[in-house]
Amino acid sequence: MLKYKQEKPKKFSLGMKQRLGFAAAVLSRPKVVILDEPLNGLDVEGMIAIRKLIQHLAETEQTTFFISSHLIHDVELTCTRIGVIYDGKMLNVESTANILKNYATLENYFVSEVERNGRVSSCAG
């Protein structure tokens, strides 16, 4: 990445900005990091690298990551625990392994939790 050291970040691609933002977020070795769509704009290699880095920091540095994402598959591959927040309220927190024992997909789990709490309206017309 030294070839970019003289460039202004505003000229970076979205993926490069994501990588820079992630690096800035973990540089000081915080105990808690909140990430909103951290894989947005990354190519496949970048997504894999960031997922591995999140897992590595969680294991070796005991860093807790709160990740907000609509990319459910990436959440499944990255996170050990899933919390469902809907309408500003935490509905449930469960281990990913436990969820996948009881539901075919994380999407099914999310819909089930939301429906169980009476928040999904019918789309029937």
Of 114 and 96, the structure prediction assigns the larger pLDDT to 96
Q: What is the pLDDT of residue 117?
A: 79
Does the pLDDT at position 120 exceed 60?
Answer: no
Q: What is the pLDDT of residue 73?
A: 87
Asked if 110 contacts 104 with a C-beta cutoff of 8 angstroms, the reply is no
User: pLDDT tens digits for 51-81?
Assistant: 999 999 999 999 999 999 888 888 899 999 9
- Angle at Cα 54 formed by Cα 50 and Cα 59, nearest 5°? 145
